[in-house]
Amino acid sequence: MTHSTHRLVLADDHTIVREGLRLLLAAVSGVEVVGEAADGRSAVQIAVKLQPDLVVTDLSMPGISGMASIREIKRRCPHTRVLVLTVHRDYEYVSASLSAGADGYVLKDAGRDELISAVNSVLNGKAYLSPDVAGQVVEGFVLGQPSSTGPASMLGKLTDRERDVLKLVAEGRTNKEAADYLCVSVKTVEKHRANLKHKLGIHRTAELVSFAVESGVLRH
């Protein structure tokens, strides 16, 4: 049995953004917003409770990140589609979102028509990428294929525990959340994180995310 109305959940830490999206989507036939979340953890809880057809989510939110919540929603709600709505246009964010299980990726500076088109496409089982990021994904895929001595080979420098920390950081976990997950102290996670950056010559978290995607650590 199929729903005559598609049920949506909105996840964004800015109330005004959620209100704007609710008003915009209210004008779309066959779509109903049934829940809202202001952080990643709430997004997962609401999705599990309501089992919506679609979750429209930001990436940068308090608690667990949108990236981590996407992965958890897709794991616990296999029939729920996920559309990312974000300001991040860098390749590493797009690629990591798709690796986490996102079905679409739209930039927040998109127009009303593009957002509605993205929502409808994803609800109809199709993938959607904003034109501004689609080219980067294709280029990153093509350029990433031939490398046999790039990021994947650099994984050999890391210990198993460093790989664990890398994956958790790339998923958006805080040091405290990673420590709890691995049953170690926060100080231990901080030490592994520092070692990761030193061994890989990386200084920013976004670069860790990019490395995790390109090396295959962060995948479906």
For the CA atoms of 86, 90, 92, 96, what is the dihedral angle to 10 degrees?
Answer: 20
**6-142 and 151-215: same fold?**
no
Residue 48 and residue 93 in contact, taking contact as beta carbons nearer than 8 Å: no
Residue 140: predicted pLDDT: 58
pLDDT at 217 over 80: no
For the stretch 90-140, pLDDT in tens is: 777 887 788 888 999 999 999 999 999 999 999 999 989 998 887 766 665
pLDDT band at 59 (very low <50, low <70, confident <90, very high): confident
CA distance 79 to 23: 25
Average confidence (pLDDT) over 193-209 = 77
Average confidence (pLDDT) over 135-152 = 52
CA distance 67 to 168: 11
Give the start-to-end residue ranges of the domains of the chain. Answer: 6-142, 151-215
The phi and psi torsions of 37 (rounded to 5 degrees) equal -140, 145
Residue 94: predicted pLDDT: 84
What CATH code would you report for 151-215?
Answer: 1.10.10.10
The tokens describing 77, both together, are: 């709600």
Average confidence (pLDDT) over 190-198 = 87
CA distance 108 to 106: 7
For the stretch 150-180, pLDDT in tens is: 455 577 778 889 888 888 887 778 889 889 9
Average confidence (pLDDT) over 1-20 = 87
CA distance 72 to 44: 7
Please state which architecture CATH assigns to domain 6-142.
3-Layer(aba) Sandwich (3.40)
Count of positions (residues) in the chain: 220
User: Global pTM?
Assistant: 0.66
Listing from the earlier edge strand, what are the strands of the sheet with 128-129?
31-37, 6-11, 54-57, 81-86, 104-107, 128-129
